[in-house]
Structure 1
Amino acid sequence: MLKVLVVEDEELIRKGIVLAVDWAALDCVVVGEASNGEEALDAVERLSPSLIITDLKMPRMDGIEMLRRLREAGNPVYVIILTAYDSFTYAQSALRLGAVDFLLKPFHDGELEQAVRNLQSRMQTSEPVHGIPGLKKGDKSKYVLEAMDYIGAHYNDPGITVGSIAQSLGISEGHLSHMFKKETDYTLLNYLTRYRIHKSMELLRDCRRKVYEVAELVGYKDVTYFSATFKKVVGISPSEYQDTCP
């Protein structure tokens, strides 16, 4: 069962999330509420939630600073963020800090529940949160798992390279590349590309998002290159993919 902490400065929205969602049906329990990042950090210490659902723009301490402090403390809590269109740069920062999903406010009925189900599905199938469908089964070595985690936390950085991944792990580029290919059947760059496209597919399911915004959120500066890469991997363009979404 997921222990949920809801962090939102607008009381009506916060109470709506707490009271309107059938948490028991999702195998979740809301263990606490907070109105800003400072309160949330205190609540995390007391309540040890496994999932935080948080707004980004809040007084005293915003969601980005809260998330940054959690990661600096080594806390791996799952985070789903809530944001408005004018919080686009905040969303980018949150994803870089390892948020597993984000929803645009106002979100539609069922969107939050679906985001929670998606997270639970990946947990139950032992798919790493920073993973992709179809990954080769079997145990992974420490460095390969750390490389996957690094990609999951930094995939939306346009400057990420095999060299930067290897350097962060304190291992040679050649050795890491060899291990990664052997254990996953993907080269590091191929895995990064497919991870980015996998994340973009999740984001594109919200038809309010523009293709160029999604491209930036997953680490592509050039929307044309993103669209070409998406079509190569998925078989259709990002716009065509959005048209298939309900």
Structure 2
Amino acid sequence: MWNLLVVEDESIVRVGLRYMVNWESLGLNWKAEASNGEEALSILASQQIHIVLTDIRMPGMDGLVLAKQIKQQYAGVQVIFLSSYDDFAYAKEALRLGAVDYLHKPTMDEDEIREVLGKAVKLLEEQKPPSRQQLSGDDKNEYLLSMLDTYTFPSPPFASELETDEFKMGCWLTIIRKREDAIAETADSEHLRFVSLLYLIDELVAKDWGGFVFHRHYREVIWIAPLMAKASGNKQPEKSKYLEGLRQKVLELLNAAVVYSHSSCYAHITDLPKAYLEALLRLPVKEQSDNLIVRMAKEWVDRRLLEEDMTLSKVAADIHVSQGYLSRVFQKEVGENFSDYVIRNKLEYAQKKLRETNRKVYEIATEVGYANAHYFSKLFKEKFGVTPIEYRNQ
């Protein structure tokens, strides 16, 4: 379901619209209402909105100013305008700003509303990222991993799957790791043991609870779970007891000793970066130390990603560890060195800006810290196989 926000200063018009159309039959959820542009922006900041149906003329912030703000801050949101007889010039400006269409308030009927909303839904479907069924193997794992960091969080997430009834009530996250004091193994046998652990947990939670199971560089299993277990019947299992039972099954079936921690419940899937950090901090101290240091380094990068002068020595000094130690644990935990991680995140941020804005390539290059646009384009092509212009035109 796509979420609809209606912005109209006349309450009678809002009421009329609400009951004029069977919104659910269009795949829409009448999510929220606002009486002015400021109120609408507040709702957009706190709720997942896909379509905004807004009056052009309103007291305070009018619909055109609101649309400009939406396009700058929420590029994927589709905007439709409501206009009156004397708003024709405004309506033309609205279309120039990238609105889907406009509806003429005095004459609009159910069929016209359905047609215009259908256009918006079609545009949303076209820009929607691949669903989990279309992603497999490493691609799916990388996509899910991107949901654990604020800067790499996809926009929108798996809308067709993560905004289902299963996740509507909220979500929580679990980290599962092999105990560090477990018997040492060769690299090959350790990898196979981890893959077996991953598959077993995926199979067990898919049957009992639901959600998504993936891994972080074959070092930890991560499970994103809906609030309610699907096989719970009338009695909802307690999370800690369920996880302890899971640990016991892993020990019995694979003879593998693991530790785990879980987050509290969060209202929306966009809170996953917070849930991951909370679960990380709850791991036993021996298991979290290196991971936590790397997490602190990654958060330092996230906060300063758009700065040009970003070095390993700076982050090491700020989080109070030696540069050599940070370099070793970063490579071990993340699977790439610090500079490669910074470059990758800058390029992925640039990729998002190319996709969601009309800004020039040199402007995006400058924003992510590359004064030389040619060098930026060279790095971009090495990473993604196409130039920034080719990527935008795909």
TM-score (ref. length: structure 1): 0.51
Quickly say closer, same or farther: Cα 1:167–1:34, change in 2 above 3 A.
same
TM-superposed deviation, 1:86: 1.1
1:42 aligns with: 42
The 1-side partners of 2:40 and 2:3 are apart by: 14
TM-superposed deviation, 1:75: 4.3
Contact 1:84 1:104 in 2 (8 A): yes
1:113 aligns with: 114
2:87 aligns with: 87
TM-superposed deviation, 1:65: 1.5
The 2-side partners of 1:148 and 1:66 are apart by: 18
Equivalent positions of 1:229-244 (< 5 A) are: none
The 1-side partners of 2:117 and 2:42 are apart by: 23
Q: Secondary structure at the match of 1:19?
A: helix
1:53 aligns with: 53
The 2-side partners of 1:116 and 1:85 are apart by: 21
Q: Secondary structure at the match of 2:16?
A: helix
What is the CA deviation profile of residues 203-232 of structure 1, one whole-angstrom value per residue up to 9, with x for unaligned ones?
xxxxxxxxxxxxxxxxxxxxxxxxxxxxxx
The 2-side partners of 1:75 and 1:124 are apart by: 15
Matched pairs, number: 157
TM-superposed deviation, 1:105: 2.1
What is the CA deviation profile of residues 132-162 of structure 1, one whole-angstrom value per residue up to 9, with x for unaligned ones?
xxxxxxxxxx99x959964xxxxxxxxxxxx
Quickly say closer, same or farther: Cα 1:74–1:2, change in 2 above 3 A.
closer
TM-superposed deviation, 1:78: 0.9
TM-superposed deviation, 1:169: 7.4
Q: Secondary structure at the match of 2:110?
A: coil
The 1-side partners of 2:75 and 2:98 are apart by: 11
Q: Secondary structure at the match of 1:4?
A: strand
Equivalent positions of 1:68-107 (< 5 A) are: 68-106=68-106, 107=108
Q: Secondary structure at the match of 1:119?
A: helix
Quickly say closer, same or farther: Cα 1:117–1:73, change in 2 above 3 A.
closer
The 1-side partners of 2:95 and 2:354 are apart by: 17
Quickly say closer, same or farther: Cα 1:165–1:93, change in 2 above 3 A.
farther
The 1-side partners of 2:66 and 2:60 are apart by: 10
Aligned AA (1:121): K
The 1-side partners of 2:40 and 2:30 are apart by: 13
What is the CA deviation profile of residues 161-212 of structure 1, one whole-angstrom value per residue up to 9, with x for unaligned ones?
xxx978877889xx9xxx67xx77xxxxxxxxxxxxxxxxxxxxxxxxxxxx
Q: Rg bigger for which structure? A: 2
2:6 aligns with: 6
Please tell me the root mean square deviation across aligned C-alpha atoms, in Å. 3.6
Contact 2:21 2:110 in 1 (8 A): no
| Unpaired runs of at least 5, structure 2 | 129-349, 366-372, 378-388
TM-score (ref. length: structure 2): 0.34
| Unpaired runs of at least 5, structure 1 | 128-141, 151-163, 185-246
2:18 aligns with: 18
Quickly say closer, same or farther: Cα 1:167–1:91, change in 2 above 3 A.
farther
The 2-side partners of 1:112 and 1:168 are apart by: 38
